[in-house]
Amino acid sequence: MASPLADRLRPKTIDDMVGQRHLLGPGKALRRIIESGEIPNLIFYGPSGVGKTTLASIIARQTNRALRKLNGTTAGTADLREIFTEAENTFTAPNGILLYLDEIQYFNKKQQQTLLEFIENGKITLIASTTENPYFYVYNAILSRSTVFEFKTVEKAEVAKAVERAFSLLEEERGEGFQIEDGVVGHIALACGGDVRKAMNSVELCVLSSPAADGVRKITLETAKELTQKSALRYDKDGDEHYDLLSAFQKSMRGSDPDAAVHYLARLLEAGDLPSVCRRLMVTACEDVGLAYPQIIPIVKACVDAAFQVGLPEARLCLADGVILVSIAPKSNSAHNAINEAMEDVRRGKYGPIPRQLQNKHFDGEDNPVKGQFYQYAHDFENHWVDQQYLPDVLKNVEYYHFGENKNEQAYRQYWEKVKGRKL
């Protein structure tokens, strides 16, 4: 059985790799480290299919180390100890072992501590890779002994080079000619979402699904589109990409960029994550538009209710209305700041007895020397307002809410300045 195309086409040198120029370009730090031959423990962090495994193999080859690979989803402590035993044998590994541990985030703390025990003496060099943020998932003691490099999705132009090489290799292996329609290479390079391995799989599928006539296979753009229609989507509801996407969605609405907000909405809906979209949309309407346009809250709630009622794909229409409205609406976070400050005081224990006039009491005990509740009913006074103390004594002069600079809140401010007879 033939190995996958991505493995058969795996680069043998740094210069053959596509992407990661910020790490591997001439004069860049990681390239200089590799060329020195003195390889420290490394952690490669980034999405799948961008060259982490490939670079580990190149490093092992260039430094003449024995490469051993483990995956955090399947390996255990026994597998580690087997490699550690091998590293003690100078005949089988005279230059030491390079251990490539993929998906290190799946190793628990005890397993990572075991790993730490054997990378201290230098006979094993660790290159760990992860698709998750290592500062959240990797044991601190390993992080402190390693250098972290972040890999990024590969640019379309770089992926296109790999796609062209893949078609050439398959043409040679199969002894056939390929007639590749204009746009096929570019579409695959774009649709893979920066994942070179995914692009290689798409190339192989395009070849296998295209009919041959007289020793020539015609690979059409229609075929490429059919086989890659959802391949660009990177989404894991438990991973960093999930939270990055939601963060970008919310920040784009807050930043009043309707185009970016709709873009991220489309990505979230394509992944089918309707609940997360609705939650973030409601939160942004309250947190970031708020009192600048308070009517937006029931409007957005209606959009969310309609989205759940009709379901996808029609829900995209209701949600697009809400997202664009939130994006272009005036912004105010005055209520957000007020409640945060009030909650901080409560958490610090800065509160006191509720003023007597606000308590839910209609009689006085014999122990109370001053009888009467003394509450003044605001509606009995002009403009439905009377000057009395509402905050506890310890917070008597605290101000949590400050009027925003938007039209609505300034109108409220002017009204209450007139009623209360003082600047607010």
Per-residue pLDDT band for 48 (boundaries 50, 70, 90) equals confident
In angstroms, the CA 4 to CA 10 distance is: 10
* 17-26, 304-313, 348-357: least confident range: 348-357
Residues 133 and 60 in one domain: yes
DSSP 424: -
In angstroms, the CA 65 to CA 125 distance is: 9
Using only the alpha carbons of the chain, give its radius of gyration. 31
Residues 137 and 26 in one domain: yes
Question: 333 pLDDT exceeds 90?
Answer: yes
Residue 10 inside a domain? The answer is: no
Last residue of a domain, one of 270, 293, 328: 328
Question: 223 pLDDT exceeds 70?
Answer: yes
Residue type, 265: L
Residue 102's pLDDT is what?
Answer: 92
Residue 281's pLDDT is what?
Answer: 96
Which residue range(s) make up the domain with 174?
Answer: 156-227
Q: pLDDT, tens digit, for every residue of 126-170?
A: 999 998 888 888 888 888 889 999 998 888 899 999 999 999 999
* Average pLDDT across the chain, whole number: 86
Residues 46 and 121 in one domain: yes
Is the whole-model pTM more than 0.75?
no
Task: Evaluate the CA torsion angle 356, 357, 359, 363 in order and state its sign.
Answer: positive
Residues 31 and 117 in one domain: yes
Last residue of a domain, one of 300, 328, 356: 328
Residues 49 and 142 in one domain: yes
Residue 14 inside a domain? The answer is: no
Residues 39 and 125 in one domain: yes
Residue type, 220: T
Last residue of a domain, one of 173, 204, 227: 227
Residue type, 373: Q
Q: pLDDT, tens digit, for every residue of 77-135?
A: 888 888 888 887 766 566 778 999 999 988 888 888 888 877 877 778 999 999 888 88
Residue 232 inside a domain? The answer is: no
Within a 10 A sphere around the Cβ of 309, how many other Cβ atoms?
10
Residue 6 inside a domain? The answer is: no
Residues 142 and 46 in one domain: yes
Residues 86 and 202 in one domain: no
**Count of structural domains, the chain:** 4
